[in-house]
Amino acid sequence: MSATVLFDVPGPRARRRQRIGTAVGAVVVLALLGLGLWRLAINGQLDPARWAILFDPNTNVPQALGEALVNTLQVAAVGMIAATVLGAFLAVGRLSDHAWVRVPVIAVIEFFRAVPLLVLILFCLLFLPTVGIPMTAFRALALGLTLYNMAVLAEIFRAGILSVDRGQSEAAFALGMRKTQVMTTVLLPQAVRRMLPVLVAQLVVLLKDSSLGFIVSYLELLRQARSLVEFFNSRFGDLYTFQIYVAAALIYIVVNVLLSQVARSIEKRTRRSAKAAATEDVELPADVQMGGGGGAVPHV
């Protein structure tokens, strides 16, 4: 239902009221914004010299933030690739005809979706070393992200496989293919193609979740920003705190918005191509987008 169904086209009086309301609202918003900026200015936060540090290579700040961005992307990339591969296996396992495959796989998927991501990461970081598996913050973060996201992606893939037209698998069986062949040569390729936008959207979620590295001291953007601030604080006092944090947050937002745009354009292309004509709405559910642990209510 488009929004316009909800209200009549405003008449002259309503339009005037709206204009007045808009003006008053704009004044209030601008006043709040101005108040914030004024407080910042009073505290000297808007001083150009303080912001210049973000762009001056001599201070090492741009390099450090760039390195941190690379670290963030690295852990996200490792997590994404591993989670995609494992998720595909789990999805196929969950659709298996054999109960001894299906039941454990369901248990694994539901377990990893039910536990907070941070607890998973801490488990990898704290417990695995005690059983002789060497751990670094990077490995723990990548492993935690992988375990959680493979469960989420397994559900996404399953939905994708189930959404492939039944005639496809029936035709493949009629040609005499085996179950494995049907799955790997007919169903999975179509499902992946169909689920590509969702995969990219999940990458955004994963990238957001990699900020949990802050809590386990992995040098991703946020932790790097924190350590830069600590470094500068020890030398010059509380001079650059705000600027560096704002820069880190902006980098996150820009990268994520860019990735979302990529997801959207991929979705448009998939819609256009004739082979995936039946692509349905592939928006990720809101709870999955929240990251840190999707819902435990199984999607159909």
Q: Is 249 in the site for other proteins (CB under 8 A)?
A: yes
Residue 101 in contact with other proteins, rule: CB under 8 A: no
Q: Does 33 participate in binding other proteins (rule CB under 8 A)? A: no
Number of residues that bind other proteins (CB under 8 A): 64
Structural tokens at position 266: 């991929």
Site for other proteins contains 204 (CB under 8 A): yes
**Residue 18 sits in the site that holds other proteins (CB under 8 A):** yes
Task: Check residue 248 for interaction with other proteins (CB under 8 A).
Answer: yes
Closest contact distance (angstroms) between CB of 67 and other proteins is 18
At residue 98's C-alpha, the angle toward residues 92 and 99, to 5°, is 105
Burial of 167 (0-12, 13-18, 19+ CB in 10 A): exposed
Cα distance between residue 152 and residue 87, in whole Å = 8
Angle CA 263–151–249, to nearest 5: 50
Residue from 227, 256, 262, 276 binding other proteins (CB under 8 A): 256
Among positions 144-203, residues that touch other proteins (CB under 8 A) are none
**Tokens standing for 26?**
């704009």
Q: Of 157, 232, 240, 252, which one interacts with other proteins (CB under 8 A)? A: 252
- Region from 57-65, 138-146, 187-195, 292-300 binding other proteins, contact rule CB under 8 A: 292-300
Distance CA 265, CA 222 (A): 29
Residue 221 burial (CB count, 10 A): 27
**Tokens matching residue 7:** 């209200």
122 belongs to the binding site for other proteins (CB under 8 A): yes
* List 55, 89, 127, 236, residue binding other proteins (CB under 8 A): 127
Helices (H), 176-240: 179-181, 188-209, 221-236
Under rule CB under 8 A, residue 294 binds other proteins: yes
Residue in 30, 108, 59, 67 with CA at minimum distance from that of residue 243: 59
Asked if 114 is part of the footprint of other proteins (rule: CB under 8 A), the reply reads: yes
Which of 20, 31, 103, 119 lies at the binding interface for other proteins (CB under 8 A)?
119
**CA–CA separation, 39 and 108 (whole Å):** 51
Indicate the residue type of 99. Answer: A
Rule CB under 8 A: which residues touch other proteins? 1-3, 5-8, 10, 14, 18, 21-22, 25-26, 29, 36, 39-40, 43, 45, 114-119, 122-123, 126-127, 130, 204, 208-212, 214-215, 222, 241-242, 245-246, 248-249, 252-253, 256-257, 260, 285-297
